[in-house]
Amino acid sequence: MNFNNPVLFKELKLRFRSFKGFNGILFFLLAMCIFVFGYIFLTVNISGTSYFRPSQSFVLFAFLSYIQLGLVLFTAPGLTAGSISSEREKQTLPILLTTSQSSFQIISGKMLSSVAFLLLLIVAGLPVYSLVFLFGGISPWSFVKVFFFLFVTLLAIGSIGVMFSTLIRRTIVSMIVTYGTMLFLSVVTGFLFIIVIQMKAFNQMGTVITTPSYLGQFLASINPAVLFATFLSPDMGYGISELTKVDFPIWAGYLIFYGLLTVGALFIAVKRLRVNMKRLK
CB 69 within 8 A of CB 150: yes
CA distance linking residue 2 with residue 91, whole number of Å: 26
In the complex, what is the shortest distance from the CB of residue 46 to another protein, in angstroms, rounded to a whole number? 49
Nearer to another protein, 174 or 181 (CB): 174
In the complex, what is the shortest distance from the CB of residue 91 to another protein, in angstroms, rounded to a whole number? 4
Q: Which H or E element spans position 215?
A: helix 214-221
CB 171 within 8 A of CB 81: yes
In the complex, what is the shortest distance from the CB of residue 173 to another protein, in angstroms, rounded to a whole number? 20
In the complex, what is the shortest distance from the CB of residue 90 to another protein, in angstroms, rounded to a whole number? 4
Q: Pick left, alpha or beta for residue 4 (phi over 0 → left; psi -120 to 50 → alpha; otherwise beta).
A: beta
Nearer to another protein, 6 or 127 (CB): 6
Nearer to another protein, 16 or 41 (CB): 16
Number of neighbours of residue 136 by Cβ within 10 angstroms: 12
Residues in touch with another protein (CB under 8 A): 4, 6-7, 9-10, 13-14, 17-18, 90-92, 94-102, 274-281
Nearest CA among 151, 111, 164 for reference residue 5: 111
Nearer to another protein, 6 or 180 (CB): 6
In the complex, what is the shortest distance from the CB of residue 200 to another protein, in angstroms, rounded to a whole number? 50
Nearer to another protein, 6 or 259 (CB): 6
CB 273 within 8 A of CB 102: no
CA distance linking residue 188 with residue 157, whole number of Å: 16
CB 158 within 8 A of CB 261: no
Nearer to another protein, 16 or 214 (CB): 16
CB 1 within 8 A of CB 36: no
In the complex, what is the shortest distance from the CB of residue 222 to another protein, in angstroms, rounded to a whole number? 36
